Structure 1
Amino acid sequence: AKAGEPEKAVRNSVEKAGKALAREATLGQHKIAKRGGRTPFQILADLHLGQAEDWAVWTEWLRDSKGRRQLTWSAELRELAGLLDEEADEEIAAEEFGSEDYTILVLPIESWRELRKHSDRVAHVLNLAEQNHHTLVQWLERERIAFADYPLKR
């Protein structure tokens, strides 16, 4: 570290480590296999070479990995992060939607493009969506932003 800028050096080091951890955790499709092997995505990238065995290996991987987790937490990391045990998708859906009726609000692409011109408006829409559907609808109408409501029954 430079003597005159120790705080900046530490901050840069922490940011670099954080980015490396994020890449390690989320960009598995870009990893390179060790000891002469190939990851599934390396096999996919090699398909253009026309090797018949690559196609067979790729389709086998697709078939056998369907419905399986591709990214998981280690028990130690979940504990370190203070997270509870994972819930099944069905449990999460039951909590989010319950057994009552609910409404899906859809923004046409033109509306979304208009909102994206101002990041604070996107954040505002997302906050309203999490808080209260009725307030979100009123705001969209006031701002003259097109949307569609789809009431759904369980």
Structure 2
Amino acid sequence: MYKWIPLFISVLLLLTTGCSTTHKIDTDLTKDLTRDLKQLSPLIEKVQFIFTRPDLTYRIDMSNEPSKEELESILTVIKEFTTVDNMNEMARSVNWGLEMSNVYLDVNTDKNKETIEHSYYARYFKTSNASDHSEANIEGYSIWYDQSEK
């Protein structure tokens, strides 16, 4: 009887730690955005939309380092696309009933797919308190932060 205790504890730990499932998002919205991004630069090889609750990541793989202007153009298109309405539609596509907490833009510009040369993010809430839906706590993805400048 006692030999089942370690197995029971392991299963209980797995269930209580919570698993974040990752979903690749492929909708009409993402197809249109991918097309728009690829028109900006011939260096863009791949664009992915990855949801790992409660966050969304735009992952752009490029063949080389883009010019400053190309990078700014990519960021501008992403900023214009990342509206509360679009994020809610993306959330619904993966059956997520809440706001996407953070939206990340990761731009990889070399052959090492593990490193990210340019990284930005925007958030829905100003604080980590996702239960505070007051206007003072809503940023609504309007401000983008550069994580590359750490």
Give the TM-score, by structure 1 length: 0.20
| More strand, by proportion | 2
Question: Max radius of gyration: which structure?
Answer: 1
| More helix, by proportion | 1
